[in-house]
Amino acid sequence: MVVFEPLPLITASVSIDEHHLIIGTHSCPQSIKKIKTTIAAGATPILINPSHESHIKEISSIFLNESGFQLATRGFQLSDLTTLGRTQVQRVVDRVFINLSPEETPLTRKIYEQCVKLRIPVNAFQRPEYSTFHMIPTFTDPKGSGLQIAVTTNGRGYILANRIKREIVNKLPSNISQVVTNMGAIRDQIIHEDHEILLREKYLKTELSRDKLGYGLDDDTWESHKFNRLIKEFEMTNAEQKLKRTRWLSQIMEYYPLNQLANVTLDQLDENSHTPINLPSPNNPDNHENSQSINPETPANTENNSEVQLGVHLRSKSPNSIGKGRISLVGSGPGSVSMLTLGALHEIKTADIILADKLVPQAVLDLIPQGTETFIARKFPGNAEHAQEELLQLGLDSLKQGKKVVRLKQGDPYIFGRGGEEYLFFTQNGFEPLVLPGLSSSLASTVVSKIPATQRAIADQVLVCTGTGRKGALPVAPEFVPTRTTVFLMALHRSDVLIKTLIDAGWDKNVPAAIVERASCPDQRVTRTLLRYVPATIEEIGSRPPGLLVVGHAVNALINDSNLQFTEASKYYIEEGYHEFEMNFDNLLH
Burial of 300 (0-12, 13-18, 19+ CB in 10 A): buried
pLDDT of the chain, 590 residues: tens digit per residue: 445 678 888 888 899 999 999 999 999 989 998 999 999 999 999 999 999 999 999 999 999 888 889 999 999 999 999 999 999 999 999 999 999 999 999 999 999 999 999 999 999 998 989 999 988 888 888 888 989 999 988 877 778 888 888 888 888 888 999 999 998 888 888 877 766 665 555 544 444 454 454 554 445 545 555 555 655 554 555 555 566 777 778 788 888 888 888 888 887 777 655 443 333 444 443 343 333 332 333 333 333 344 455 443 333 344 444 568 999 999 999 989 999 999 999 999 999 999 998 888 888 998 999 889 999 888 776 677 888 888 899 999 999 999 999 999 999 999 988 899 999 999 999 999 999 999 999 999 999 999 999 999 999 999 999 887 776 678 889 999 999 999 999 888 889 999 999 999 999 999 999 999 999 988 899 999 999 999 989 888 888 888 999 999 999 999 877 778 888 888 899 998 887 765 565 555 44
Q: 40 near 142, Cβ under 8 Å?
A: no
CA separation for the pair 195, 188 (Å, rounded): 10
pLDDT at 243 (0 to 100): 67
Give the 3-state secondary structure of 419-486: HHHHHHHHHHCCCCCEEECCCCHHHHHHHHCCCCCCECCCECEEEEEECCCHHHCCCCCCCCCCCEEE
CA separation for the pair 326, 303 (Å, rounded): 25
Q: Which domains does the chain have, with CATH numbers?
A: 19-135 (3.40.50.720), 176-439 (3.40.1010.10), 442-576 (3.30.950.10)
CA separation for the pair 24, 212 (Å, rounded): 46
Provide the terminal-to-terminal Cα distance of the chain, rounded to the nearest Å. 50
Amino acid at 460: D
Maximal C-alpha separation, the chain? 89
**Which is nearest to 111 in space by CA: 19, 18, 21, 17?**
21
CA separation for the pair 29, 33 (Å, rounded): 6
Amino acid at 161: A
- Scored b (16 or more CB within 10 A) or e, 116-137 reads eeeebbbbbbebeebbbeebbb
CA separation for the pair 200, 196 (Å, rounded): 6
CA separation for the pair 328, 457 (Å, rounded): 41
Paired with 434 in beta bridges are 328
CA separation for the pair 516, 409 (Å, rounded): 19
pLDDT per position as a tens digit, 382-428: 677 888 888 899 999 999 999 999 999 999 999 988 899 999 999 99
Rg (CA), the chain: 28
Q: Does residue 514 sit in helix, strand or coil?
A: strand
CA separation for the pair 393, 277 (Å, rounded): 19
User: How far is the CA of 174 from the CAs of 265, 366, 367, in angstroms?
Assistant: 19, 16, 19
Compute the C-alpha angle 300/283/313, nearest 5°. 55
User: How far is the CA of 165 from the CAs of 138, 149, 155, 168, 459, in angstroms?
Assistant: 7, 7, 15, 5, 44
Q: 280 near 289, Cβ under 8 Å?
A: no
Q: What count of other Cβ atoms lies within 10 Å of the Cβ of residue 244?
A: 20
Q: What is the pTM of this model?
A: 0.65
The beta strand positions in 177-325, using DSSP E, are 308-309
CA separation for the pair 157, 431 (Å, rounded): 61
